[in-house]
Structures are given as structure tokens and as C-alpha cells.
Structure 1
């Protein structure tokens, strides 16, 4: 029996069908007492990846006491959603999503997320949980200017002596017209950056304000926006140079943000993380390792131990997806072609019709330990050329602790014109 037939047979023996929400309960049981549950996606534009993660997140919050959901999104925009779900500010769910106005808006300004945050809002309203209500946070690094604006607003509101340093740092970035590429070139090649101003600001904030007890998470808001400012400045300087630094800075930042949120919530914090498979699946089980790249899944496993981290990958055989042909272009619904022959998704399809769930344990990991191509679709996608760059060589059972396969998927449903929502 050749390797492909062995793999298909292993899937047939080890997978179970996924047809209803109750089929997810075995995943919940397998998570055990993990502190971090990482829920992936094979694209940023597939409806089922969002809806299934929503069902899992509900179960984790209700049944296992998870405190919050952290997503691959900007902190300022997500914190507005957090204000909605925790009842800090009265608004509609549509209004809560209006700050997702930077491309790619559809990742979080979509109907699937709207249903999730409405559920979180209702859960927080009805729960008698004594600890903090369930929150919604963004842990990405891109919101340099937005985070600095938030810092200034918070310092002005609270009369902090660090306000002057914040305005000086913001003024340093202003000549670059909120264009990261302009700042990156200036800082990396001409030495005209704002590293000194950022360092001074962070020193003053850290020593005089962050960590104070407060209402409506003001200190957490200030702390994470400060972290974004420092790491985004570093990220953009690294962005124009070849090598792994910019990617690694970004994923280390995501882990630092998770740790800041965890510290704020307290010792018993348990966190759900929504990110692309390329971030949550252990990089050491892919060809990323050869390029010197690390990711959130690897860093968390190394820092906290594999028993404290449960990573769940997602994939599909065919369907439709929301994406764009080039960065910044208008989005469109694209056909996702049948998986490439010899890929992980192709083997899942050949193992039999229908959606499937696989859980990897010491008893079966070796069956799925060989390297195989595993499809990854980003916000930029061209189906005609996916065989040249959309398949990541992966040891599936070492990259993830479990896997959900949706045989035929549908495109995400973006909320139109989020910036104009009222």
C-alpha cells in the first residue's frame, strides 16, 4: 500500500463525521484544562470557518469558563466591539463594527461576526459569572496611528503627565501620512525613525499609569495600545528588509498581547484565539522553520507547555471564498477549485464524502506525521495560480491537535460599507 492509500485509510479509520453542533463536543472534551485554545482557518473569507469557530467558542465560554476571544484584528477596532459586548456603551451590533474600515474590512465587519458579538452581548447580560464578563480583543500589530490616537485620548481624559510625550511621538509619525511603507523606508534606510520618541512615551506611561485599577478596562486599553505602538514601529522598520524579522515581530507581539490580557483577567484566565492556520499551527511542523519563522502556536507551546495549548486547524476541498486579486483591490467572491491532487485536503475528500473531524493523540499522531501539502488562502488570492504558492508542506498531526474539514464551503458575508454604518 503506497503512502497516499495509507493516509486515506488512516483518515477513514480515525475521523468521525461532523454534521451537527453536538459533534463538536468531543473536541471540547479533548481540550481538557488547556489555557489557550487556538482556532484556525484556511482562509480569511470562508463563512463556515467563522460559524464553526463561533459554535466552539460558545461551548468553551459556557461549559469551560473561557474568559475572552482574541482575534487577528486591530486592537482599537476590536476594543469598540468589546465595549459593546460588555455593555460599557449602548450601541447596535452594526455600530460596534463600524471602526473596521481599514482594508481588508471584511475579515471582521461581516455578518458571521455580527452574530457572534450579539451572542457575547446577550451572554454577558444574562450571566451570573462572578469573574469578568467575556471579552473580545484584537491582538494584531498594524494599528500604529490608531493606537497612538487612542493613547492621546486616554491620557487627555485622565490628565496624565505623559500626554506631552504622546503628542511628541505622534508628531514624529505625522510626516509619513499614515503610510507604513513611507515610514519603513525612512526608518530602515535613512535612520529617520521615531524609535526614541516611542521609547520615551512608553517609559512614562509604564512608570506612572499602566496597571492602575480602573473601570471599563482603561488601563488594559492603554497598555495594549502602548504595546502596539512599540511593536508596530519595530515591525514597519523590519518590513522593508528581507528575512523573517517582520513576521516574527508580529507573532511575538500577538503573544505579548495575549499575555497582557491574561494578566489583566487574572490567574485563571482561559483564552480563545481566532487566527489563520499559519499563525495558530506550530511552525516547527511546516517549512516555515527552514525560513527562520516562528508563530503564535509554536511560541505558546514552548512557553506554556503542550498541555496548555490546543490548536485546531481548518480546511476545505472546494467552494467559494471572499478575497481580492491584489492588496487593496475591491473584494470579490471567488471559486475555490478542488484541492490539488496529493494534498491533505484531497486525501480528506478521497476518504469519503462529508465533513470530518480528526483528533490527534499519542495513539495516532504517527499516522499523520508525514509532510503533505496543506492549502492556505490569504486576503489576496488567485485560484488559477494556487498550486504555485498556496500549499504549505505540513506535518498535520504535529502542527495541530485536531482538524475540522468542511468539504464544500461558502464565501463570508461582508457587511457593506462598514465605515458608513450608523
Structure 2
């Protein structure tokens, strides 16, 4: 494994890598998550939705960075790593060839560094194509036994004796923070702020991240199920996808909890689509994304009205923004330009960030930051790290959930919404009957 100095001035110390991608039968990648071998909790890598995407394991190279220039430093390291690499790619699909997985810190002053990870082995599937990529230092042999390891791996064990406890703030204390935010909005200090709370998870035995990924994929198949450097979750929000010059971004803001009764949920979807409070929150988020992408695109399509995205536990107002990139931006460059959007921070951004730092009383770390993957040419997919948890040890995680607060928000409803957003991870950590 090659771990590189996180100091930007040492980015030119990248060890040359060799990546080789070859096609495999679709049947060998029929269940990507089942191919993940038993690994340390921070070496499991995933970006999968509806059975397609990329997974990885092992660490051929990695990079850590912090601070205001974390995106620029990560971008620089990846460009130099990709330029120095030898790549044999007979597949030519998004996610083949040399790729890295990444997870970026939400705030510049976070004590938790951002991470880029280049796996030793990547397996991908897209449409009628499936492939395996092996990556190693150019003067080292590729990972051994790759063919033998592409079959189903040992089943992950269910978590045992899982206990949940409040993070820095209890639900009641967090409700008080929401009240304070509403007072500031009423005083015209800001228009919107997204406040998050946390739950701590402890177990008597090691928690297998593969168990969590499989449960999330089963229960929330319309989300992107991700794992990078110890953060694991299922995000419904595609921050940015860049593929051959076309950029797309899915904006989610405005949420209502589902009841499980189809007719009732249909009525709730209608009320969400008409809610002035939720439409206002959504408009802030869409505007922040469109304004940021406009600097990098020659044309852009922004739908006039959102649609309602139905997930298993909640429904969101959603808008898909698309544009044609007219500069040399990579997917990480675009993700940096969009972060933090109003969907995870607020409006105005600077004021909302200050309110978050004061009222949440916690370091978000890589929660609500960009998470995803990128190839050697800069194309890739970056979501927002939502509905997720971060391993703090092999037997413990911290879970996060946040809600957008605007004028008209009801504190009790926001607490209920945050509880609903914890549900995917809480259920994924529960044994199945």
C-alpha cells in the first residue's frame, strides 16, 4: 500500500501505478456487493445502485488532505497520479481503468481529513458490461488470486447487541437548536439552515460493513449505496455526475415521512408538492446548484417545477439539473463548486455555516460532504454523504441526520423528520429474522 503525504507540496511524490481492466461475464458480477471479501471496516469500497456501479477492496494508494484547499489538493494529487499511471483499459466504460473512491469533509475546519483511495481491485457493472480492474505500483505485481476471489464471499455476520445513544445533543436539546434557528430566520439573519444531529452506535462484536451495505441495497434500492474509508450509507442525492462532457445533478430538499399506506402516501405526496414551506426550501437548493454549475457550462436545463421522489421511508421534492461542461473541470472540481449546497448547509451559505457550527455542537466530519468515485479522465459520480454512519472503531459508528429549517418550519415535525432519516441505518444495523 502507498500512503502519500497529505501536504499539497508533496503531491508530486505520487508512486506510478499500473491499472489493467478486462471484461468478465455479466454472471460474474450479478451481485456486486456479494463479491466484497472480508476486509477491515475502512477498506471496503462501494458505489452501487440497482445492482450497477463499482466496488473495490485493498489499497494501492491513498491520500488525505484538510483545510480550505482540500478539494484543490485532492484534485492536484489525482491529476498527477493519473498522469503518471500506466493504464490498460479494454473495457472503456464509466468506472473502468484507473479509478479512485473519495470522501470529502463537510467543513474546512473539520478535524477529520478528506480521503481519496485507489483500490487494488475494482469490480464494475454497467448495462451489458462487467469488468475487473487490478491496480498496483507499476513495479509491483498485480493483486494475486483475483480470479479466485470473484465468486461469492463468506456471508457477513449480523450485528449483535447493538445499542444506540445520543450524540452531542439529545432530541430535546436539538429541538432547542431548531427553535434558535427559527428565531434567527425570523430576524432576517438568514433564509435557511440545515441542522444535523447524531446518534452513537456500539456493539459487543465487530460490525461488518458488508452487512450494512447489503441491507441498505435491499431496502433502499433507488439510492446509491456507498462505502469509502469507513463511511457507509445510502444516499438519495446525486451531487454531480460527469460523463463525456455532460453534467447532471439531482437536488433534494423538502421532505415528508411515508406512512406505508399507498393511498395515504399519495395524498401526502400531493401535499408536499403544494407545500409553500417545502417549495421554498427546495427553490433555495435548486438555485444554489444552478448558479454554481452556470460557471462551468455552456448550456443548462433547470426544470421549472420539482417532482416527488418516493423512497421507502420518506418522499422528497426533487429536481434534476443538467448542463454541458465547457471547461476542463473534473467531476471533483464540479463537486467542489457545488459544495456546500443549500440542501446541506443553507442560504446565505456563509451565515448558515456559522449557525451550523454554533448550534450543532459537533464536527460533521465527512457527513454531508461529497462521496463517490472518479476515473483517470476526471469523469465520475459524487453524491452527498447522507443516511450514513462513520465507523469510529470496529465496534462503533456515529450516525447522522439533518433537516432544512426555513420560515414556517415546525420544531416537532423537524424532530420527527430527523428520526425518519435515521431509520435506514438503524434498520441496517438490526439482525434479520
TM-score range, shorter chain: under 0.3
Higher relative contact order (CA 8 A, sep 6+): 1
